[in-house]
Chains A and B, each alone.
Chain A
Amino acid sequence: MPYQGVYTNAAVELGKLLDAKTFKIWSAALAVMLVVLWLFNMALTIKGIINGTFILGGRKWKDALTEDSNEGVHTSKRSNGGSGIEAGLPV
């Protein structure tokens, strides 16, 4: 795999010549934090999909169903289509 060779070989050679691993360790630490954050976000998102808050702009499925029974289809009270970036409603 030539592309991997260019990248890895340069990094390995530089690592050997300069004996400096600071940024390699830092980038690895950042990547680990990121994967944990991604998993955490995904868990919150799945929870938000299940209870409806991420889809219905902060309302829950059961609340929307109750309103639906009473009023028929209507748009959300918050018409920005927002699922939290603006108002950040709780899950």
Chain B
Amino acid sequence: MAGGGGNPMNLARLALSEFTSQWFLLPLGTVVISVILHQLDYQFRGLRIISYMFWVLAIVMLLTFFILYLLRLAVFPRKTARIIATDMTELSCLSSVVISFTSIVQMMTLSVVSTWGHSWGVAAYALWWLNALLALLATGATYLILTVVRPSGIPELMPSSRLPLIAVITTAAAGGTISVFGELSVELQVPQIIVSYLLLGLGVALAFMFDVLFWARIVNRSSLAKGQIYQEMILCGPWGQSSFALQGLGEAVRNGSFAQYDSGVFITAQAAGPISAISTLLGLFAWGFGTYWWLHAISSILYNTFDHGKLRGLPVGLGIWCLIFPWVSYSTATSSSIWTGPDALSGSIYQCSRRAGQAP
């Protein structure tokens, strides 16, 4: 591929100068696939191995891309800084590093703690606090630039601007997972659960606000260009991930952490049941809203694929990787809904139908 009369070294420098943060969407899409395959209810022989392979691939990708991006920063500092400051997508996609890192730590808890010992749970717990700090920094810096330093205006607001808040919500989701599967003491679990709920509050409020603004954009005839249309799938990401986080945190509270800690009026055995139930209920709400955005994104992509009834296709670039992570967030929430919600819901519908004589 690098043949011809040009200088391959110059070509390598050119490739490095063009190395965009959108490459971080690849490990993001890969690590979350490993999580969903690991957590899927229908397991067949070898699926766990496949999920670990995706996990390792994601770690390799993240490390490689991170080194390349640092190299780009070192070799082309002014150009890279200018792009980060002026291109909202470039800036937002840097949050994918935090989301990938958090998801890798989450998967570490699910995969190695039970076999390699609870010290791995403590390691995941320590890394989680680092994740929380990084997610807050990414959110603060990105939205400071978006609102104060260089406001883009509603017609230019991109779905990718949600990536920092997805980092925050993913950290909350990982907090629930680590608390449930990390084999930690309640003294470690409870602060993690409380902070996770705080992060979730921050992320969900921002997600709702961005949804309203994006809705204003698209109803105001400022729809996305065809090459950007894949980004619409990002819209379901915060809601799917919120649903997963709420269910995980509800599970963490129900597992006995609040009952054993027993402090004040909130962190008690009496409060644990209602908190868990409310979390599951809100998780269902969030999942329902995520379902709307999921259907909207698919409809929008299909609509833009056709032009006057003829298949035209869409431009292809790294933007295609915007499809994976939110979809996985959405389906992970679906998968984890099996814990408590939808089955219970289906069961209630079944029992009501039976009472009404409509079911056997």
B235 sits at the interface (CB 8 A) = no
Say how far B330's CB is from chain A's closest CB, in angstroms: 7
B110 sits at the interface (CB 8 A) = yes
> Would you call A84 and B30 a contact (CB within 8 A)?
no
Expressed in whole angstroms, the Cα–Cα distance for A65 and B2 within the complex equals 8
Q: Which of B32-40, B126-134, B211-219, B273-281 contacts A (4 or more CB under 8 A)?
A: B32-40
* Beta-carbon nearest neighbor of B335 in chain A: A27
Within B77-113, which residues are at the interface with A (CB < 8 Å)?
A: 79-80, 83, 86-87, 89-90, 93, 110, 113
Given contacts A58-B317, A66-B6, A76-B18, contact A2 B90 (CB under 8 A): no
> Would you call A28 and B89 a contact (CB within 8 A)?
no
Expressed in whole angstroms, the Cα–Cα distance for A16 and B324 within the complex equals 32
Tell which of B26, B37, B181, B227 has the most Cβ of chain A within 10 Å: B227
> Chain B residues near A73 (CB, 8 Å)?
10, 13-14
> Chain A residues near B226 (CB, 8 Å)?
88
Expressed in whole angstroms, the Cα–Cα distance for A73 and B10 within the complex equals 6
B246 sits at the interface (CB 8 A) = no
> Would you call A88 and B113 a contact (CB within 8 A)?
no
> Would you call B110 and A3 a contact (CB within 8 A)?
yes
Given contacts A3-B180, A34-B33, A34-B324, contact A27 B316 (CB under 8 A): no
Would you give the 0/1 interface string for B8-50, flagging 1 where the beta carbon is closer than 8 Å to chain A? 0011011101111111001001100100110111100000000
Partner of A88, one of B17, B80, B314, B342: B314
Partner of A87, one of B1, B160, B227, B344: B227
Partner of B322, one of A7, A31, A82, A85: A85
> Would you call A88 and B319 a contact (CB within 8 A)?
yes
> Would you call B347 and A82 a contact (CB within 8 A)?
no
B328 sits at the interface (CB 8 A) = yes
> Would you call A85 and B22 a contact (CB within 8 A)?
yes
Would you give the 0/1 interface string for A1-26, flagging 1 where the beta carbon is closer than 8 Å to chain B? 11110111011001101111011101
Within A31-72, which residues are at the interface with B (CB < 8 Å)?
A: 31, 33-35, 37-38, 41, 44-45, 48, 50-58, 61-62, 64-69, 72
> Would you call B114 and A41 a contact (CB within 8 A)?
no
Given contacts A20-B343, A65-B4, contact A41 B79 (CB under 8 A): no
* Beta-carbon nearest neighbor of A53 in chain B: B317
* Beta-carbon nearest neighbor of A61 in chain B: B1
> Would you call B42 and A24 a contact (CB within 8 A)?
yes
> Would you call B40 and A28 a contact (CB within 8 A)?
yes
Partner of B20, one of A18, A44, A83: A83
Say how far B211's CB is from chain A's closest CB, in angstroms: 20
Say how far B282's CB is from chain A's closest CB, in angstroms: 17
> Would you call A90 and B334 a contact (CB within 8 A)?
no
> Would you call A84 and B15 a contact (CB within 8 A)?
no
> Would you call B331 and A86 a contact (CB within 8 A)?
no
* Beta-carbon nearest neighbor of A14 in chain B: B343
B311 sits at the interface (CB 8 A) = no
> Chain B residues near A62 (CB, 8 Å)?
4
B350 sits at the interface (CB 8 A) = yes
Closest 8 CB pairs between A and B? A84-B317, A88-B227, A18-B347, A20-B346, A88-B315, A65-B6, A30-B331, A68-B6
A residues contacting B by CB (< 8 A) are 1-4, 6-8, 10-11, 14-15, 17-20, 22-24, 26-28, 30-31, 33-35, 37-38, 41, 44-45, 48, 50-58, 61-62, 64-69, 72-76, 79-91
18 A–B contact pairs at CB < 8 A? A3-B114, A14-B339, A23-B342, A27-B337, A31-B331, A31-B335, A34-B36, A35-B33, A45-B318, A45-B320, A65-B6, A65-B11, A66-B4, A83-B22, A84-B317, A88-B226, A88-B228, A89-B315
